[in-house]
Amino acid sequence: MVPFVDLGRIHGPLREELLSVAGRAIDGNAFVMGGALEEFETAFAGYCGAAHCVGVASGTDAIELALRAAGIGPGDEVITVPNTFIATVEAICLAGARPVLVDVDEATQLVDVSKLEAAVTDRTRAIIPVHLFGQPADMDPILGIAERHGLTVIEDAAQAHGARYKGKRVGGLGSLATCFSF
């Protein structure tokens, strides 16, 4: 049997550090909020070149909360891509909006920006470009389309930690928020 993902190989070199961090959380009964979260939020915001970072329970929650913060809900449409993890579309639905799927570019497997504007309707409120495989979507034309139509851009970067677009890390490219998953 060939394992799909060999997590032991990844965790092995970090084992003692991971156990130490988990031990501190257990000993301090610090499972939610607290100093460790604040430390992470500050460090990750700095890493991404973003002004702020807010830790939440999951990438799904991050997208749903970003949509709700943008005032998106029932009757609204949000454009994204079909080849993403279900959580992207699930979060749109949880916010009460309707997902509108735009096909991907064959070469990059990221949103085909040439098809994006045709999907915009009078009900469209946001675009969620999905950065995949460690590569960012082509943000300049996406942001241009969003600006022309008064749309919010929320990046789904759950599979692109540290990816760079024109020298800048994903995490501060969108107009409202970037959502990661760990």
> Look-up: residue for tokens 């997590």?
7
Question: Can you give the residue ranges of every domain in the chain?
Answer: 7-48, 59-179
**What local confidence, expressed as pLDDT, does residue 53 receive?**
94
What 3-state class would DSSP assign to 37?
helix
Asked if 137 contacts 111 with a C-beta cutoff of 8 angstroms, the reply is: yes
**Cβ partners under 8 Å of residue 26, min gap 6:** none
Query: Tell me, what DSSP letter sits at residue 103?
Result: -
Query: Tell me, what DSSP letter sits at residue 129?
Result: -
**What local confidence, expressed as pLDDT, does residue 117 receive?**
96
d(CA 177, CA 128): 10
d(CA 150, CA 156): 19
d(CA 35, CA 27): 14
d(CA 93, CA 142): 22
Instruction: Tell me the pTM.
Output: 0.88
**What local confidence, expressed as pLDDT, does residue 8 receive?**
85
Residue among 112, 150, 157 nearest 133 (CA): 157
Kindly report the CATH number that applies to the domain delimited by 59-179: 3.40.640.10
**What local confidence, expressed as pLDDT, does residue 2 receive?**
76
Tens of pLDDT along the chain (182 residues)? Answer: 777 778 888 889 999 999 998 898 889 887 788 888 899 999 999 999 999 999 999 999 999 999 999 999 999 999 999 999 999 999 999 999 999 999 999 999 999 999 999 999 999 999 999 999 899 999 999 999 999 999 999 999 999 999 999 999 998 888 889 999 98
Max CA separation in the chain (angstroms) = 55
What 3-state class would DSSP assign to 99?
strand
* Cα distances (Å, whole numbers) of residue 53 to 9, 67, 73, 136: 29, 16, 23, 19
**What local confidence, expressed as pLDDT, does residue 7 receive?**
82
d(CA 125, CA 152): 6
